[in-house]
Amino acid sequence: MRFDTKIGIVVRADLAAWQQLNVTAFLASAVAGGVPETIGEPYEDGSGNSYLPMFRQPVLVYVGAMEDLRAVREKASGRGMDVAVYIEEMFKTGHDADNRAAVRAVEADELALVGVAVHGPKNGVDKVLKGLALHP
């Protein structure tokens, strides 16, 4: 199936594996919460057990250096795409309010990015993520 939109997540390559997974999960939740039309219908198995809905489309995960993440954030924001960020300081905070305060305390071009998620038109997201390697 072809989709008109694309979800891409970029994590910093120098993070520990658990950090990359944690950042990816948080950024995916940002897209799900901020762009509700990306979510499909709930699942049900043959026994009648219900399961939470998931994204209706694939999520591609890439890796890059901090400069790459900054470029992705800047290009995606400039194109009016939906963007989520995760910064180094968020590894030290204890809850959502502190996370928002940590991001708010830093100018956009100075964010110590460890992850960025983008959602938008497929061709635009492809251009924003061009040259990045898929996560191994």
Q: What is the DSSP letter of 46?
A: T
pTM score, whole prediction: 0.93
CA dist., res. 8 & res. 118, Å (int): 5
* Residues 6+ positions from 47 with CB-CB distance below 8 Å: none
Predicted confidence band of residue 2 (pLDDT cuts 50, 70, 90): confident
What does pLDDT average to over the chain? Answer: 95
Predicted confidence band of residue 48 (pLDDT cuts 50, 70, 90): very high
Average pLDDT over residues 101-117: 96
**Share above pLDDT 70 across residues of the chain, in percent, rounded to a whole number:** 99
pLDDT of residue 33: 95
